[in-house]
């Protein structure tokens, strides 16, 4: 049954060939950019993915892989890898002020410290890039007072022959340069902080821009001693020693330089969640509310849903279809819209609830009212789902069993408790656990209603209605400055909690099924 190569080739269907071709073309386009950026991980991934896809789709074997590979690659790239990344970030101090590597941080501190020498010469400056936009690396074209042009980048100055440039006849400023794109004033302005911290080393000093079209020769006031690993401020003679990812003044004044770098901090983020009172207090408060919120959401929605399903479950009940169509509406309305509508109904001054009831309750502004509001809205969002589920499960309750119980003289309540409820629970249990897991991370309802608030006095990171996911979000993206390390540590704790809950939940379900199996 062996086929010759040409037969095999003929059997290849063209969609697969086209697909592999596109993937290969994509790799060919991307790899040069990756090499340019020295992103060797990127190159490896790109080559590996292309090779795997080419192999899977061009070989006659690996049929199962053809159906699985695209989803698996996406799963690995955007679900598994981020989890790994989160876990590794949890052990660092990554965040605002600690974004760079140490080498970058040292260079940045030195470049930021360059000041102009009194009476030093100035250059006419043009900023240029290889591409026509400002996204890539840029260089300086500098014209000294004698009209000599030099090109400067992070590695130093290089002379440029006059033949390669045209200069403004009055100022000497470079207007065009062969192979380079001179940026306009607006583009240069847009470079902002990148331009401010860019310095061209000259051997004796450093050239920095001043304004949009002039540059000066300056000197570092901060110098780094690589052997002693210290940073010295040459004006005040303060010596800064490195400590915990930043430079700390050695004179004991406690001063630190604003730019630090990323280092591993071991379990510090985790231990500070447990031991640092300023983090532990809010964290525990948030954790308890998260669990309470998830449990109460499940209980209230399931309770109301079941009640309605039982109420409707009567052979002579009319209009059941109309009821269920109308009760489906809250579920069918996109949740983000409904939640925003609810948030406006809670408005203290103009809200519908206060208007209808003639009250002046600060629904979202006081801790318990806010928690109640969040639960009420979540009940509204969730009960139709539970109603539909319960209505379906009630159909499965064995009618004979109910009849027999009735004949034996059991009260309707007793029948419900001993016959109906167990059957419904077995069916609903996996859904209740899933619903618990979903509400455990129900970011939307918190974000859109209260945004975690109200905040207790003295805490601006953890509000009274914050659940873990919204708390984590604020740590990473809130206005207080990004704390990626700590946020990742808390994400990691959420992983562990969710894992434990799902595990025990599913074990519980299995036991329930065994109990009621016979």
State which of residues 12, 327, 361, 512 lies at the interface with other proteins (CB under 8 A).
327
Angle subtended at Cα 456 by Cα 455 and Cα 460, rounded to the nearest 5 degrees: 55
Looking at the Cβ atoms of 68 and 210, the one nearer to other proteins is 68
Looking at the Cβ atoms of 176 and 331, the one nearer to other proteins is 331
Looking at the Cβ atoms of 95 and 205, the one nearer to other proteins is 95
Question: Do the bridges between strand 138-143 and strand 122-129 make them parallel or antiparallel, or are there none, so unpaired?
Answer: antiparallel
331: which DSSP letter?
Answer: H
Looking at the Cβ atoms of 277 and 332, the one nearer to other proteins is 332
Looking at the Cβ atoms of 35 and 154, the one nearer to other proteins is 35
- Smallest separation, CB 181 to other proteins (Å): 17
197: which DSSP letter?
Answer: T
Residue with tokens 């984590």: 472
- CA dist list (Å): 30 to 26, 73, 81, 228: 6, 18, 21, 42
Looking at the Cβ atoms of 401 and 501, the one nearer to other proteins is 501
* Contact positions with other proteins (CB under 8 A) in 329-388: 329-338, 340-345, 347, 349-352, 355-356, 380-385, 388
The gap from C-alpha 40 to its chain's centroid, in whole angstroms, comes to: 24
φ and ψ at 73, to 5 degrees?
Answer: -60, -45
- Smallest separation, CB 10 to other proteins (Å): 13
Looking at the Cβ atoms of 71 and 118, the one nearer to other proteins is 71
What tokens appear for 90 in the block? 């949890």
User: Which region among 28-36, 113-121, 144-152, 175-183 touches other proteins (by CB under 8 A)?
Assistant: 28-36
| Beta-carbon contacts of residue 442 (< 8 Å; ≥ 6 apart) | 293, 294, 297, 378, 467, 469
How many other β-carbons are positioned within 10 Å of the β-carbon of residue 408? 9
What tokens appear for 259 in the block? 């730019």
What is the helix, strand, coil percentage profile of the chain, to 5?
A: 55, 15, 30
Of the candidates 415, 391, 388, the residue with the CA atom closest to the CA atom of residue 403: 415
* Contact positions with other proteins (CB under 8 A) in 468-507: 469, 472-473, 476-477, 484, 487-488, 491, 494-495, 498-499, 502
* Contact positions with other proteins (CB under 8 A) in 383-442: 383-385, 388-389, 392-393, 427, 430-431, 434-435, 437-438, 441
- Smallest separation, CB 406 to other proteins (Å): 13
Of the candidates 155, 154, 149, 211, the residue with the CA atom closest to the CA atom of residue 176: 149
Number of residues that make up the chain:
518
Per-residue contact flags (x/-) with other proteins for residues 284 to 323, judged by CB under 8 A: --------------------x--xx--xx-x-xx-----x
* Contact positions with other proteins (CB under 8 A) in 88-147: 89, 135
* Contact positions with other proteins (CB under 8 A) in 238-257: none
Looking at the Cβ atoms of 78 and 368, the one nearer to other proteins is 78
Looking at the Cβ atoms of 284 and 317, the one nearer to other proteins is 317
* Total of chain residues touching other proteins, rule CB under 8 A: 101
What three-state secondary structure class fits 67?
helix
* Contact positions with other proteins (CB under 8 A) in 53-92: 63-68, 70-72, 74-75, 77-83, 85-86, 89
- Smallest separation, CB 415 to other proteins (Å): 16
Looking at the Cβ atoms of 372 and 427, the one nearer to other proteins is 427
- Smallest separation, CB 475 to other proteins (Å): 9
What is the DSSP track for 426-452?
Answer: HHHHHHHHHHHHHHHT-HHHHHHHTTT
Looking at the Cβ atoms of 79 and 457, the one nearer to other proteins is 79
What three-state secondary structure class fits 509?
helix
State which of residues 125, 174, 294, 448 lies at the interface with other proteins (CB under 8 A).
448
Looking at the Cβ atoms of 11 and 237, the one nearer to other proteins is 11
| Beta-carbon contacts of residue 215 (< 8 Å; ≥ 6 apart) | 122, 123, 124, 125, 140, 142, 207, 208, 209
Alpha helices for 350-420 (secondary structure H): 352-357, 367-394, 399-407, 412-415
- CA dist list (Å): 487 to 124, 424, 492: 46, 40, 9
d(CA 496, CA 493): 5
* Contact positions with other proteins (CB under 8 A) in 452-471: 469
d(CA 32, CA 34): 5
- Smallest separation, CB 347 to other proteins (Å): 6
State which of residues 240, 447, 464, 467 lies at the interface with other proteins (CB under 8 A).
447
State which of residues 12, 24, 39, 365 lies at the interface with other proteins (CB under 8 A).
39
- The verdict on 24 binding other proteins (CB under 8 A) reads no
């Amino acid at each position: 049954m062996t086929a010759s190569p040409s037969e095999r080739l003929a059997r290849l269907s063209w969609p697969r060939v086209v697909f592999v071709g596109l993937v290969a073309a994509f790799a060919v386009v991307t790899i040069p950019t990756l090499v340019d950026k020295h992103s060797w991980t990127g190159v490896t991934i790109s080559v590996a993915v292309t090779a795997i896809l080419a192999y899977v789709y061009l070989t006659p074997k690996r049929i199962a892989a053809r159906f699985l590979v695209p989803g698996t690659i996406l799963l690995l790239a955007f679900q598994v890898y981020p989890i790994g990344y989160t876990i590794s970030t949890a052990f660092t101090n990554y965040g605002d002020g600690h974004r760079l590597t140490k080498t970058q941080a040292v260079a940045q501190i030195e470049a930021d410290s360059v000041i102009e020498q009194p009476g030093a010469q100035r250059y006419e400056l043009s900023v240029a890039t290889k591409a026509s936009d400002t996204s890539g690396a840029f260089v300086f074209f500098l014209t000294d007072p004698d009209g000599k042009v030099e090109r400067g980048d992070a590695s130093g100055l290089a002379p440029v022959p006059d033949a390669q440039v045209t200069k403004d006849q009055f100022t000497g400023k470079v207007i065009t340069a062969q192979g380079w794109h001179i940026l306009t004033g607006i583009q240069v302005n847009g470079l902002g902080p990148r331009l401010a911290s860019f310095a061209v080393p000259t051997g004796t000093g450093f050239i920095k821009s001043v304004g949009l079209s002039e540059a000066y020769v300056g000197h570092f006031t901060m110098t780094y001693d690589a052997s002693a690993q210290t940073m010295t401020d040459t004006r005040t003679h303060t010596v800064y020693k490195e400590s915990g990812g930043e430079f700390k003044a050695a004179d004991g004044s406690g001063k630190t330089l604003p730019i630090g770098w990323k280092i591993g901090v071991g379990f510090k983020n985790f231990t500070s969640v447990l031991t640092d009172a300023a983090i532990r207090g809010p964290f525990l408060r948030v954790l308890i509310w998260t669990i309470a919120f998830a449990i109460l959401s499940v209980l209230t929605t399931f309770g109301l849903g079941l009640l309605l399903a039982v109420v409707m479950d009567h052979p002579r009940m009319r209009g059941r279809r109309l009821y269920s169509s109308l009760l489906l509406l809250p579920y069918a309305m996109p949740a983000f819209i409904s939640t925003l509508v609810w948030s406006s109904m809670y408005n203290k001054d103009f809200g519908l609830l206060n208007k209808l009831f003639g009250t002046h309750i600060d629904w979202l502004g006081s801790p318990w009212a806010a928690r109640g509001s969040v639960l009420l809205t979540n009940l509204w969002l969730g009960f139709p789902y539970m109603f539909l589920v319960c209505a379906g499960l009630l159909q499965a309750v064995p009618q004979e069993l109910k009849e027999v119980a009735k004949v034996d003289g059991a009260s309707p309540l007793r029948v419900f408790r001993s016959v109906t409820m167990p059957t419904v629970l077995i069916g609903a249990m996996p859904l209740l656990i899933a619903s618990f897991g979903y509400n455990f991370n129900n970011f939307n309802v918190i974000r859109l209603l209260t945004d975690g608030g109200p905040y207790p006095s003295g805490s601006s990171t953890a509000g009274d209605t914050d659940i873990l996911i919204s708390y984590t979000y604020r740590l990473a993206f809130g206005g207080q400055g990004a704390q990626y390390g700590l946020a990742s540590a808390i994400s990691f704790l959420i992983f562990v909690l969710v894992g434990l809950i799902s595990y025990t939940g599913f074990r519980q379900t299995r036991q329930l099924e065994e109990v009621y199996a016979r």
